[in-house]
Structure 1
Amino acid sequence: MTKDMTTGNPVKLILYFSIPLLIGNIFQQFYNMVDTIIVGRFLGVNALAAVGSTGSMIFLILGFVLGLASGFSVLVSQRFGANDEEGVKKAVGNAIILSIIMTIIITIISVFFAKPLLNLIKTPHDIIDEAYSYIVVIYGGIFVTFFYNIIASILRALGDSKTPLYFLIVASILNIILDLVFIVKFSMGVEGAAYATVISQGFSGILCLIYTSKKFPILKLEKKHFILDKEFYKKHLSIGIPMALQFSITAIGGVILQSAVNSFGSTVVAAHTAASKVEQLVMQPSVTFGVTMATYCAQNLGANNIERIKEGVKKCTLINIAIGTIGGIMLIVLGENFVKLFVSNSDPNIISYATKYLTTVSFFFIPLSLIFIYRNALQGMGYTFVPMMAGVYELVARTIVAFTLPLIIGYTGICLAGPMAWIAASVPLIIDYHKKINSMNISECYS
């Protein structure tokens, strides 16, 4: 069911849209965590470190894919907000064609450079072979990731955050079953965990496509909608490429940080892997409200509702500040218990390193939560340059901290790399949003 976010109480609409999306994000994080938990408990610390060492590399490529999918959906959302049904269909058709082209290019490049990149970031020799076995399967399945996320992004652009949720729940359950089958029964190692992830996401994508084709008349496309239209594909690329680059620039910072983490050895890599999974799970509410802002702002821009955008962003900012505060307190109090889920022998060194990381970053969750709101608000309104540059500032800050502070204060310097990057990114985003929204008038809006 589509949802018009241009009328009605903004907070109620935001919550209505966000709750299914939040549940879906948690399930997505959940089945990523299940990979890690099963690998750590059944295959050991080295296997856990191998999977963890690929995290930043996976986000480097899949983040680019997610950025493209999200960017391609902005125009869909704007056309929907303007009640332009034919424009919605053309935007979707052009997005699908561009997605196919980009999938082929990205898959070839990522698979070819997987091993060289693992060597470049100094992946420890005792885990590099397992790391490669894992990541090459994930990269080979990029078409599955793009397939699901472009459908899910289009549905969210139309205000429907429930349909993707239903099929993610199915995928999560399937992923757990396949993890156990491939790793425990068939002894496929970390490669089995990768296959489980790809297959389960592909299954959810197929189900989502079948359901969507039957239940969403606005998405019943004809041959003419798949003809590349200069107006549409230029707009898609002008928004999608900067959003994809913003994701990838952030991911490059993660790759650089992973290189710094790798220099501390497999135990620290395993600890950082476990802690990062916990951090990502706790931050899902903030991520969710950010994604909601992209759809909300895009639809209201299409409807020329500038004051409504201001109201929604303001209230969502307050919500995310509260979420960041609660998330930080949770990590300080319960962080150690979360970490113990990932290691079967409760290795005291792993727990110590992981707990230190979680305690450190928890004090900086407010600037991180604000990044999600203002970055997505700007992107939803079609402004992509400053969000992309914020990723550059984040990259520079993370790189400087990761390779300077550890020389002085050891692993604590690694823990501070993320927080310093969040501050560097949040400040320009907040400033640019207020400049843009305060200078905006009807003539600058979508027409």
Structure 2
Amino acid sequence: MKKQHDFTQGNILKQLILFSGPIMLTNLLQTSYQFADSLWVGNLLGGNALGAVAVSSTIIFTVLSFVIGLNNAALTILSQQKGRDNEEGLKNYLNAFVVILTVLSVTLGALGFIFAEQFLQLLGTPENMMTSAKAYLQINFLGMLFLFGYNFISTVLRSLGNSKTPLRFVMIAVALNIVLDPLFIAGFNLGVEGAAYATVISQGIAFLYGIIFVLYRKLAPFSIPTLPTKQEVGLILNLGIPSGLQMAVIAAGVAAIMSVVTGFGDDVVAGFSAAQRLDSLVMLPALALGTAVSSMAGQNIGVSEWARVKKIAKYGVLYNFSIMLIIGIIVVFFAEHGVRLFIQEEEAVQFGTQYLQIIALCYPFLGINFILNGVVRAAGAMYQILVLNIISFWILRYPLTALFAHLFGDTGIAIGMGSSFLVSSLVAFLYYRYGKWRKKELFRT
């Protein structure tokens, strides 16, 4: 196997900067992928079609959240095996993930296709959107294997210290989607179904290219799949299930906060939605650093290099704080221009601008959560991270947002959210400093 990046030696800060950069770009491209999809559907087919895609995407994201959970487990297990320089263990666990994800993707794809309408009814999808939403959802479920595989290959490479190659796969998927969307939607007159076909084909080609590229370059020790051992399956599910549940906790927490926002009327909802779109872009560096730190720490935890793990956490926090502080200051000055990209109604723009200006300088503290939780996750302490997320969203963010909104009106939404970032970063630090996550041992020595 071609030598990948070894994070158990060398300059940590330099490695962090070089390794996290391509992950940031990959995340940005993933966001532009969804943005381009919405742009084509909205402009070519109108608001009704865009609504149908948005409702279906909620279901797809819910399924994907479990995939992200399993991918976090893969990042932890494979990076530790890489750090231990255990070629056989790496190969065996890679095989186990391939088998589990293949079975899971085929099963979920079949169930999703059969019960697509029932899922949409559970979300209260309007009748005039049902036909389009069902078609869009069913086509995406047929391509579930591509969605799983496309994400998994990137995770495997990152666990081995390679963040540049996954960027190549995402660029292919994004470029294809931008070309195929208008072709299938308008050129072949397939409407919403055309958008779904464009997505599945783009991801399918990127997935197949990824497999061929990785095998040809020998970037990871993939082999012909065989049945994994009970121990391998047990460890993967023991880490993957709580990691998947973390995403469910986050999704439910976001929905709960939205229930506070909707109480203030249409203008506040519109302003908050526009601000959230900008939020998702602003948080990309912190998310990328969290992934980078997790992979780097995982390799060092695998060989008990705790001094390096501590340095990775320290540099990660300082690098994140610097980047997010600069971004926060920029947002304070250009918040209104950003909000006006999405909405024009004056009252909505005013709320969105005020929200961003209050919360912008709290971004660095939310980033601290991603860094420290990424290090803890690298040790395999998934249940502990699940508890930290429950505290972050359900004991801090939602109650504080509701409380300050009650005390200060719509201005309190940003005050509550921002203060929760501050307190949850303190909770994350206290667990990182005093928690027993370092005693977690995934493999017998």
TM range (shorter): 0.7 to 0.9
Q: CA deviation at 1:178?
A: 2.1
The amino acid of 2:327's aligned partner reads: G
* 1:431 corresponding residue in structure 2: 430
* 1:368 corresponding residue in structure 2: 366
CA 1:113–1:78 in structure 2 vs 1: closer, same or farther (change >3 Å)?
same
Q: CA deviation at 1:128?
A: 7.0
Matches within 5 A, 1:113-262: 134-135=136-137, 137-186=139-188, 188-216=190-218, 218-222=220-224, 226-258=226-258
* 2:392 is aligned with 1:394: yes
* 2:88 corresponding residue in structure 1: 86
> 2-side partners of 1:277 and 1:427: how far apart?
26
The amino acid of 1:301's aligned partner reads: I
> 2-side partners of 1:192 and 1:391: how far apart?
37
CA 1:431–1:130 in structure 2 vs 1: closer, same or farther (change >3 Å)?
farther
CA 1:388–1:12 in structure 2 vs 1: closer, same or farther (change >3 Å)?
same
CA 1:248–1:6 in structure 2 vs 1: closer, same or farther (change >3 Å)?
same
> 2-side partners of 1:85 and 1:110: how far apart?
37
> 1-side partners of 2:125 and 2:423: how far apart?
28
Q: Is the 1:246–1:387 contact (alpha carbons within 8 Å) kept by the matching residues of 2?
A: yes
The amino acid of 2:391's aligned partner reads: Y
Name structure 1 gaps, 5 residues minimum.
Answer: none
Q: CA deviation at 1:62?
A: 1.3
Q: CA deviation at 1:403?
A: 6.1
Q: CA deviation at 1:314?
A: 0.3
Range 64-73 or range 103-112, more displaced: 103-112
CA 1:55–1:184 in structure 2 vs 1: closer, same or farther (change >3 Å)?
same
CA 1:418–1:196 in structure 2 vs 1: closer, same or farther (change >3 Å)?
farther
Q: CA deviation at 1:158?
A: 0.8
> 2-side partners of 1:167 and 1:186: how far apart?
26
> 2-side partners of 1:190 and 1:355: how far apart?
33
CA 1:143–1:217 in structure 2 vs 1: closer, same or farther (change >3 Å)?
closer
SS at structure 2 position matched to 1:159: coil
Normalised by the size of structure 2, how large is the TM-score?
0.85
CA 1:132–1:81 in structure 2 vs 1: closer, same or farther (change >3 Å)?
same
Q: CA deviation at 1:279?
A: 1.5
* 2:306 is aligned with 1:306: yes
Q: Is the 1:27–1:168 contact (alpha carbons within 8 Å) kept by the matching residues of 2?
A: yes
> 1-side partners of 2:214 and 2:115: how far apart?
35
> 2-side partners of 1:42 and 1:186: how far apart?
13
Q: Is the 1:122–1:259 contact (alpha carbons within 8 Å) kept by the matching residues of 2?
A: no
Q: CA deviation at 1:78?
A: 0.9
Per-residue CA deviations over 1:23-58 (Å, capped at 9, x if unaligned) read 111111111222233344444555555555666554
* 1:287 corresponding residue in structure 2: 287
Q: Is the 2:331–2:357 contact (alpha carbons within 8 Å) kept by the matching residues of 1?
A: yes
CA 1:160–1:217 in structure 2 vs 1: closer, same or farther (change >3 Å)?
closer
Range 316-325 or range 262-271, more displaced: 262-271
State the identity as a percent: 31
Q: CA deviation at 1:14?
A: 1.3
Q: Is the 1:246–1:388 contact (alpha carbons within 8 Å) kept by the matching residues of 2?
A: yes
Q: CA deviation at 1:216?
A: 1.5
Matches within 5 A, 1:297-336: 297-336=297-336
> 2-side partners of 1:270 and 1:410: how far apart?
16
SS at structure 2 position matched to 1:363: helix
Relative CO higher for 1 or 2, CA cutoff 8 Å, sep ≥ 6? 1
CA 1:100–1:370 in structure 2 vs 1: closer, same or farther (change >3 Å)?
same
Per-residue CA deviations over 1:256-305 (Å, capped at 9, x if unaligned) read 44556667777766655443332112211111110011111110011221
CA 1:124–1:398 in structure 2 vs 1: closer, same or farther (change >3 Å)?
farther
CA 1:325–1:56 in structure 2 vs 1: closer, same or farther (change >3 Å)?
farther
Q: CA deviation at 1:334?
A: 2.5
Range 105-114 or range 171-180, more displaced: 105-114
Q: CA deviation at 1:107?
A: 3.8
The amino acid of 2:309's aligned partner reads: I
* 2:12 is aligned with 1:13: no
CA 1:441–1:255 in structure 2 vs 1: closer, same or farther (change >3 Å)?
closer
> 1-side partners of 2:71 and 2:213: how far apart?
19
The amino acid of 1:103's aligned partner reads: S
CA 1:442–1:420 in structure 2 vs 1: closer, same or farther (change >3 Å)?
closer
> 2-side partners of 1:175 and 1:115: how far apart?
26
Per-residue CA deviations over 1:244-267 (Å, capped at 9, x if unaligned) read 111221122223445566677777
SS at structure 2 position matched to 1:8: coil
- Size of the alignment, in residue pairs? 442
Q: CA deviation at 1:164?
A: 0.8
SS at structure 2 position matched to 1:145: helix
